[in-house]
């Protein structure tokens, strides 16, 4: 699999092949190897980016099931604050996907109606959009929100 360099710090990922010669990557939060797809490549890089920026691994969920109108969605990454409240919801897309498509915004906003996270991030590993959602108003941020210290 030919995966591109991303616009994120290069993490030390553990890779291996399964019995079918498919690439796997170690997920430090799920504590298991998972199939390495282009989206997973982005998810793992962004997960390590969060850890590098002081987000505790114990307060991050990866691919958490979320009930949505008779079906389930999955949040890519969800970081909680120290009071166990959603703090940052991250939606990861494959590098070739345009994250500025309205369908991606609609997806993360729909997930967040259930979660109520004050911060959102959309990334394809090359472009990252950081959004603050406060009282129904969306504001674009320049950088990743800092993890709250209190």
β-strands 32-35, 128-134 pairing: unpaired
**Residues 45, 37: contact at Cβ < 8 Å?**
no
pLDDT value, residue 150: 67
pLDDT value, residue 149: 83
Sheet holding 23-27, edge to edge: 15-17, 23-27, 32-35
pLDDT value, residue 69: 61
DSSP state of 147: P
pLDDT in tens, the chain (150 residues): 688 999 999 999 999 999 999 999 999 999 999 999 999 999 999 999 999 999 999 999 999 888 666 667 889 999 999 999 999 999 999 999 999 888 888 989 989 988 999 999 999 999 999 999 998 899 999 999 999 986
For the whole model, what pTM was predicted?
0.94
Residue-level length of the chain: 150
pLDDT value, residue 68: 64
**Residues 131, 142: contact at Cβ < 8 Å?**
no
Domains and CATH numbers, the chain: 38-141 (3.90.1570.30)
> What DSSP string runs through 5-52?
--SS------EEE-TTS-EEEEETTTTEEEE--HHHHHHHHHHHHHHH
């Amino acid at each position: 699999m030919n995966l591109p360099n991303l616009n994120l710090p290069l993490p030390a990922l553990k890779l291996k092949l399964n019995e079918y010669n498919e690439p796997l990557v170690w997920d430090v939060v799920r504590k298991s190897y998972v199939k390495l797809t282009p989206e997973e490549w982005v998810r793992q890089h962004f997960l390590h980016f969060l850890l590098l920026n002081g987000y505790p691994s114990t307060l991050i969920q990866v691919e958490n099931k979320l009930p949505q109108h008779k079906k389930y969605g999955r949040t890519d990454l969800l970081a909680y604050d120290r009071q166990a409240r959603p703090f940052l919801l991250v939606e990861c897309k494959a590098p070739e996907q345009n994250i500025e498509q309205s369908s991606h915004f609609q997806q993360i906003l729909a997930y967040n109606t259930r979660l109520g996270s004050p911060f959102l991030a959309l990334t394809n590993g090359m472009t990252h959009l950081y959004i603050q959602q406060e009282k129904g108003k969306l504001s674009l941020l320049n950088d990743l929100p800092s993890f709250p210290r209190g």
